[in-house]
Amino acid sequence: MDETAVDAINALTGQCAERLRRQGYRLVVAESCTGGWLAKTLTDLPGSSEWFDRGFVTYSNQAKQAMLGVTSDTLQQYGAVSKEIVSEMAQGALRESGADVAAAISGIAGPGGGSVEKPVGTVCFAWQIREEALITSEEWFDGDRQQVRWQAVVHALKQLVQLLGNG
């Protein structure tokens, strides 16, 4: 990562923090393919304990089920990289935390693990403010493992900032 990329993610993190702080919200994240990178990025900001509740790194399907309540039926029907799974991850993260806002990520960072239906670079996301509608997206990122994961963190932050609005 070059200095410009670091500056960009720091700016997004700052915007996210300010909006969470202003609204009195606490954030929880549930991550798979990013392995805690989103939580690390958020907690790099001094004072993050004011608005960051916790992060779940649920890399295995077993962890998704045990920590977040993801169902085996959903895993079997849709696979770990799906909007349905990140929806259950976000809802489980809210249920298992004291947070008001959740972000969830699951994807295929590569270099292996892809398929025709879900190629390497496929990443699914979910965001939810407690008691509000859940938002999901499926994105495709180019690059190597680190680039896919980096782009997933940036995308998650951008969408959090948008979700939190100017409130």
- What is the per-residue pLDDT for 62? 98
Q: How confident is the model at residue 167 (pLDDT cuts 50, 70, 90)?
A: low
Compute the distance between CA of residue 28 and CA of residue 97 in angstroms, rounded to an integer: 7
pLDDT in tens, 18-66: 999 999 999 999 999 999 999 999 999 999 999 999 999 999 999 999 9
Which pLDDT score, from 0 to 100, does residue 14 have?
A: 97
Q: Residue 1 above 80 pLDDT?
A: no
Q: What's the sign of the alpha-carbon dihedral 162, 60, 42, 93?
A: positive
E-strand ranges in 52-121 read 52-57, 101-107
Taking the C-alpha atoms of residue 93 and residue 30, their distance in angstroms, rounded to an integer, is 6
Which residue's entry shows tokens 């969470």? Answer: 20
Q: How far apart are CA 19 and CA 159, in angstroms?
A: 12
Instruction: Give the pLDDT band of residue 76 (cuts 50, 70, 90).
Output: very high
CATH number assigned to the domain comprising residue 50: 3.90.950.20
The domain of 143 spans 3-164
Strands lying side by side in the sheet with 135-140: 52-57, 27-31, 101-107, 122-129, 135-140
Task: Render the burial of 90-101: b for 16+ CB within 10 Å, e for the rest.
Answer: bbbbbebbebbb
- How many structural domains is the chain composed of? 1
Q: Which two tokens stand for residue 73?
A: 């039926």
Q: In the chain, how many H helices and how many E strands?
A: 6, 5
Query: Taking the CB of residue 29, how many other CB atoms lie within 10 A of it?
Result: 30
What pLDDT is stored for residue 166 in this prediction?
74
Up-side HSE of residue 112: CA atoms within 13 Å toward CB?
0
Mean pLDDT of 113-141: 97
